[in-house]
């Protein structure tokens, strides 16, 4: 199987980086082909602009969706965007590894979606949800939080985690056809002991051994914890 790991954390020695490394090592050891997009290491530009394209459909007025559709028809994406689209197209499993910031993904990861989930080639017309490009493929969010488990339970300080993640699960991943797996969440790793962090890494490694056997979730059905 082909796996794409998208890492969005600015510190290479962070726990998020450790989670991404553990995933890459475990999946590679199991015989899978693993690509890693390390957004900060790449200095990925999250801004939608004409830099995504080799040419222009309308040089006088920049409409990203129109330019994406034109580039999809003409093979006109800039090399760095073309490379990311190809990784997305090829993967059987996509893992996003990120810290939950302001109830969402870091801006650099959202910008990756803005520039890589392109009109025409990735979505558009009937090519959404059940008819999406990635139908039959799977996606899982692996994330860390600043607060403890109780803060993300129903009735907790921040509210149920499934509600926080729904815009990503439904509006990004399911939208282009992915089956969404239950998220892998490490609550408050900065407050854990070294032993507890290592146990969290081990739990992630064990899950990855059978991740292709997991059933997808119905978005909103799982509980934090």
* pLDDT above 90 for 219: no
Is 36 part of a structural domain of the chain? yes
Largest CA distance in the chain: 58
The token pair at 117 is 């989930």
Query: CB burial class (10 A; 0-12, 13-18, 19+) of residue 170?
Result: middle
Predicted confidence band at 49 (pLDDT cuts at 50, 70, 90)?
A: very high
Is 20 part of a structural domain of the chain? yes
Task: Give the mean model confidence (pLDDT) for residues 39-55.
Answer: 97
8 A C-beta contact, residue 8 and residue 168: no
* pLDDT above 60 for 140: yes
Is 172 part of a structural domain of the chain? yes
Is 217 part of a structural domain of the chain? no
Count of domains for the chain: 1
Compute the Cα dihedral for 103, 107, 108, 113 and give only its sign. Answer: positive
Predicted confidence band at 191 (pLDDT cuts at 50, 70, 90)?
A: very high
- What does the pLDDT read at residue 158? 87
The strand pairing partners of 36, in sequence order, are 5
Contacts 24+ apart (CB under 8 A), 72-77: 72/118, 72/119, 72/120, 72/121, 73/120, 77/52, 77/53, 77/118
DSSP string, 132-147: STTTT-EEEEEEEESS
- Which residues in the chain belong to E strands, given as ranges? 2-7, 33-38, 93-99, 138-145, 179-180, 184-187
**Residue whose tokens read 């080639």:** 121
> For residue 72, how far is the Cα from the chain centroid?
22
Up-side HSE of residue 155: CA atoms within 13 Å toward CB?
Answer: 0
Is 223 part of a structural domain of the chain? no
Predicted confidence band at 220 (pLDDT cuts at 50, 70, 90)?
A: low
pLDDT tens for each residue of 59-103: 999 999 999 999 999 999 999 999 999 999 999 999 999 999 999
* CATH number of the domain where residue 207 is located: 3.40.50.360
Domain extent for 124: 2-212
Nearest-10 Cα torsion for 84, 89, 92, 94? 40
**Residue whose tokens read 């009109």:** 119
Is 28 part of a structural domain of the chain? yes
* pLDDT above 60 for 160: yes
Task: Give the mean model confidence (pLDDT) for residues 26-50.
Answer: 97
Is 49 part of a structural domain of the chain? yes
- What does the pLDDT read at residue 153? 87
pTM for the full predicted model: 0.94
Percentage above 90 pLDDT, the chain = 90
Is 7 part of a structural domain of the chain? yes
């Amino acid at each position: 199987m082909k796996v794409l790991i998208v890492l969005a954390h600015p510190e290479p020695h962070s726990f998020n980086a450790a989670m991404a490394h553990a995933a890459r090592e475990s999946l590679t050891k199991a015989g899978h082909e693993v690509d890693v997009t390390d957004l900060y290491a790449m200095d990925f530009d999250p801004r939608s602009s004409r830099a995504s394209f080799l040419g222009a459909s309308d040089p006088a007025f920049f409409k990203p969706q129109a330019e994406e559709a034109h580039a999809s028809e003409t093979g006109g994406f800039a090399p760095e965007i073309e490379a990311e689209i190809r990784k997305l197209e090829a993967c059987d499993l996509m893992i996003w590894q990120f810290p939950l910031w302001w109830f969402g993904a870091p801006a650099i990861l959202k910008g990756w979606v803005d520039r890589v989930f392109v009109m025409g080639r990735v979505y558009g017309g009937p090519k959404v949800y059940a008819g999406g490009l990635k139908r039959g493929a799977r996606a899982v969010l692996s994330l860390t939080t600043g607060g403890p488990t109780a803060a993300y339970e129903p009735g907790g300080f921040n509210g149920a985690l499934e509600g926080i993640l729904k815009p990503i699960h439904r509006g990004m991943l399911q939208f282009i056809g992915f089956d969404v797996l239950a998220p892998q969440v490490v609550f408050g790793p900065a407050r854990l002991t070294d032993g507890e962090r290592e146990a969290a890494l081990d739990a992630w490694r064990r899950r990855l051994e059978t991740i292709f056997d997991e059933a997808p979730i119905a978005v909103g059905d799982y509980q934090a914890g």
